[in-house]
A and B are shown apart, each in its own frame.
Chain A
Amino acid sequence: MGFLEFKKVYKVYPAGVKALDNVNLSIEKGEFVFLWGATGAGKTTLMKLITREELPTSGEVWLERCKISSLEDRYLPILRRNLGVVFQDLKLVPHWTVFENLISPLLVLGVKKRDAHRLAEGILDLVHLQDKKHHKTEWLSGGEKQKLCLGRALIHRPHLVLADEPTGNLDGATALGLVGTLFEFSERSGATVIIATHSEKLVNRFPGRLVVLDKGKIIQS
């Protein structure tokens, strides 16, 4: 069994929209994966099944031999603490500072103050936000917010990083830099990274596995 497995997964939303149609997918530990497809192909739904923001209509989702599709709600915090997620809509708290947003996963993990500061300094350097550390998040530009979201996803060194359209509003160079950071992180730490994107440029620039989704079906993996 792979590190992450989707077995005969269907997802139909209440309005009758079929988001995923018999998805079977296996991803190994340490893989760098692009989930490519047009808008509405089912990329975000697939990501949400991993974070357990959504449940499959039928089928199974397994992560590290744990059937997360039937995980009890009380165990969700344990699952989510081990994920690093760059959300499509960022999920940053606008009135918190960059630093406060950045360390939120560490706070949940109960990391000591000194260690949290050290880790935060390192990540701020990595995402080039050192000079914005005490700025309110709402004052940041779109690109800076994306970087902050990336930093927050990596600060606790998760084994699995999910990035849902992380370069959505970014210019070419910034987008490449951001995905480059994810690639480097995967190479160094051995973490599995899954990037959902509709950008062909990005897919062609980085070596990695390509999984193509079309109308909820995997047509290439």
Chain B
Amino acid sequence: MPKSKEAFHHRGTSYIVMGFLSIFITQLLLNLFIFGYLELEQMGGVWQSSFTIRAFFPEEVSPEVVEDVKEKVKALPLVGEVKLVDSEEAKSRFLSYFNLQEEDLGLEENPFPPSLEVQAQRVEELPFLAQELEKIEEFEEVFYGGENTDALLRFYRFFLTAGGLLLLALFVFSLLVVTTVIRASIQARETEIEVWNLMGATKRFIRAPFIYQGVMEGLSGGVTAFVVSLVFFHFLLDFLNTSFPLFFWINWEELILPLGVVSILMSSFLGFLGALLACNSIEEESAKK
């Protein structure tokens, strides 16, 4: 005996294909966006030093003040990691960088001021964090990156904003398609729905097969997009690694989990929401009649 979800047989193939395709394409583009985001994160990790803010104390600052300020900075909301570079470490870094000996400097006193190396929780928040640090009076100078870092951050922000907006638009479009498809599917089954109503079926019983249809369409679109994306990125990364071996490419294996989780959750949610909206709109229309 069929269960509630099988209560409406012979659903139109064309409707199902349309719903499947819209979710598949949306999910495919979402996967591309995720790839781009993870790749940027990877680059951000490699260029971590460019994304570190250096805040210098004056030379004569006392160790107590340095410790106090360090704790104060740690407590700021945007801060990720804070490292204290004291005068000795600063001098030793300088000597190492220029491959010099201490005698080569010929200095009686250490002229290198202590500083804090501060990393933001998220790369794109770096300029805001730098502004916060500049407000602290105990620092003599605060700086980070440079033109390249700024350019990279601008691109990062552009990518997040444009990608986010594009995805939002795609999500809404896909939701509209799924809703329309399920609506058409419901309208094509008016006879069955009328019969079920007269047999005493509850609203939930009648809705269930359409919600099931939406979730299954979403899920199948998402899983297919996941598989296609993995195959595509496998060949793409293979090509990129061969052609630009010095660049920092993400590992293909690292894509499997995020793409898998997002594909399954997002697409089934999209299908579910579309079906729910379709059922609600049809019910509202019938109530008005």
Contacts and interface: CB of A to CB of B under 8 A. Distances in A.
B199 interface: yes
Contacts of B4: 107
A55 to B, nearest CB: 14
Interface in A127-181: none
* Residue among B1, B195, B197 facing the most chain A CB atoms (10 A cut-off): B1
A87 B199 contact: no
B200 A96 contact: no
B200 A91 contact: no
B202 A85 contact: no
Nearest to A85: B198
Contact of B198 (A78, A80, A113): A80
B194 A108 contact: no
B201 interface: yes
A196 interface: no
Interface string A177-208: 00000000000000000000000000000000
Contact of A108 (B9, B192, B199): B199
B212 to A, nearest CB: 15
B199 A104 contact: yes
A103 interface: yes
Interface string A79-97: 1111101010001111110
Contacts of B196: 104, 108
A160 B195 CA distance: 18
Contact of B7 (A107, A109, A111): A107
A80 B200 contact: yes
Given A91-B195, A100-B9, A81 B200 contact: yes
A94 B192 CA distance: 9
B1 A116 contact: yes
A91 B48 CA distance: 71
A124 interface: no
Contacts of B199: 80-81, 104-105, 107-108
Contacts of B1: 103, 106-107, 111, 113, 116-117
A161 to B, nearest CB: 14
A37 B130 CA distance: 91
Contacts of B2: 100, 107
B194 A96 contact: no
A75 to B, nearest CB: 10
B63 to A, nearest CB: 74
B13 interface: no
B198 A51 contact: yes
A77 interface: yes
A78 B200 CA distance: 6
Nearest to A109: B200
B195 A108 contact: no
Nearest to A79: B200
A215 B9 CA distance: 42
A100 B8 CA distance: 11
B205 interface: yes
Contact of A93 (B191, B197, B201, B205): B191
Contact of B201 (A108, A111, A116): A108
B10 interface: yes
Nearest to A96: B9
A78 B205 CA distance: 13
Contacts of B10: 95
* Residue among B9, B200, B202 facing the most chain A CB atoms (10 A cut-off): B200
Nearest to B7: A107
* Residue among A81, A91, A104 facing the most chain B CB atoms (10 A cut-off): A104
Contacts of B200: 76-83, 105, 108-109
A149 to B, nearest CB: 11
Interface in B1-31: 1-2, 4, 7, 9-10
A111 B9 CA distance: 19
Contacts of A95: 9-10
A115 to B, nearest CB: 9
Nearest to B3: A107
B5 to A, nearest CB: 11
A107 B2 CA distance: 8
A29 B287 CA distance: 34
5 contacts: A78-B200, A80-B197, A100-B2, A108-B201, A116-B1
Interface of A: 51, 53, 76-83, 85, 87, 91-96, 100, 103-109, 111, 113, 116-117
| 6 interchain residue pairs of minimum CB distance | A81-B200, A80-B200, A77-B200, A113-B1, A108-B201, A116-B1
